[in-house]
Amino acid sequence: MLLSLFLVALGGLQTTCDASRRTERQAREPPEKALYVMSNEVSGNNVVAVSIAANGSLFGGKSVSTGGIGGNYVSPTDGHPLVPDALSSQDSLIAVGKFLFATNAGSNTVSMFTKEMTGLELLGAPKPSLGQFPTTLAASLEAKLICVANTGAQSGISCASFSEDGLSDFDMLRPLDVGETQTPPVGPVPGISDVYFAGDMSYLFVNVKGNPGIFTTYAAVFKVENGSVATTATIATPPGSAVLFGTSLIDGTSNALVADAGFGALILDLADLSAEPVALVNITGQQASCWAATSGLTKTGFVTDAAVNRLVEIDLSNGDIVQEYYPPTPFPGMTDMAIGGEFLWTLSAGNGTTPPSINTFDLGAGRGQAKFVTAFAIPGVTANVQGLVAA
CB 248 within 8 A of CB 294: yes
Q: What is the CATH number of the domain that holds 36?
A: 2.130.10.10
Is 90 exceeded by the pLDDT of residue 238?
A: yes
Q: Which amino acid is at 120?
A: L
Per the DSSP assignment, residues forming a β-bridge with 44 are 41
8 within a domain of the structure (yes/no): no
Comparing C-alpha atoms, which of 210, 230, 229, 228 is closest to residue 219? 210
Query: Please, which pLDDT band fits residue 351 given cuts at 50, 70 and 90?
Result: confident
Q: Residue 222's pLDDT is what?
A: 98
Q: Residue 32's pLDDT is what?
A: 75
Q: What average pLDDT does the segment 323-348 reach?
A: 97
Q: What average pLDDT does the segment 189-215 reach?
A: 97
- What confidence tens digit (pLDDT) does each residue in 218-227 have? 999 999 999 9
Q: How far apart are CA 60 and CA 51, in angstroms?
A: 6
Q: How far apart are CA 215 and CA 206, in angstroms?
A: 16
Q: What average pLDDT does the segment 264-284 reach?
A: 98
19 within a domain of the structure (yes/no): no
Least confident interval from 8-17, 204-213, 307-316: 8-17
Q: What average pLDDT does the segment 215-220 reach?
A: 98
Q: Residue 29's pLDDT is what?
A: 57
Query: Please, which pLDDT band fits residue 31 given cuts at 50, 70 and 90?
Result: low
Q: Residue 118's pLDDT is what?
A: 82
Q: What average pLDDT does the segment 266-286 reach?
A: 98
Is 90 exceeded by the pLDDT of residue 101?
A: yes
Query: Please, which pLDDT band fits residue 323 given cuts at 50, 70 and 90?
Result: very high
Q: Residue 21's pLDDT is what?
A: 30
Sign of CA dihedral 236, 237, 238, 243: positive
205 within a domain of the structure (yes/no): yes
Give the predicted TM-score (pTM) of the model: 0.92
Q: Which amino acid is at 258?
A: V
Is 70 exceeded by the pLDDT of residue 88?
A: yes
Is 90 exceeded by the pLDDT of residue 252?
A: yes
Q: What is the count of structural domains for the chain?
A: 1
Q: What average pLDDT does the segment 14-22 reach?
A: 35
10 within a domain of the structure (yes/no): no
Query: Please, which pLDDT band fits residue 210 given cuts at 50, 70 and 90?
Result: very high
Q: What average pLDDT does the segment 77-101 reach?
A: 96
* Furthest CA-CA distance within the chain: 88
Cis geometry, peptide bond prior to residue 184 (ω within 30 degrees of 0): yes
φ/ψ (deg, to 5) at 371: -125, 130
Determine the structural domain holding residue 189 and report its residue range: 31-390
62 within a domain of the structure (yes/no): yes
Per the DSSP assignment, residues forming a β-bridge with 281 are 265
Q: What average pLDDT does the segment 135-161 reach?
A: 98
Quote the percentage of the chain above a pLDDT of 90.
89
DSSP state of 211: B
Q: Residue 352's pLDDT is what?
A: 82
Mean pLDDT of the chain: 92
Going by DSSP bridges, is the β-strand pair 191-198/203-209 parallel, antiparallel, or unpaired? antiparallel
Q: What average pLDDT does the segment 202-211 reach?
A: 98
2 within a domain of the structure (yes/no): no
Is 90 exceeded by the pLDDT of residue 209?
A: yes
24 within a domain of the structure (yes/no): no
103 within a domain of the structure (yes/no): yes
Query: Please, which pLDDT band fits residue 26 given cuts at 50, 70 and 90?
Result: very low
The secondary element (H helix, E strand) that includes residue 18 is helix 2-28
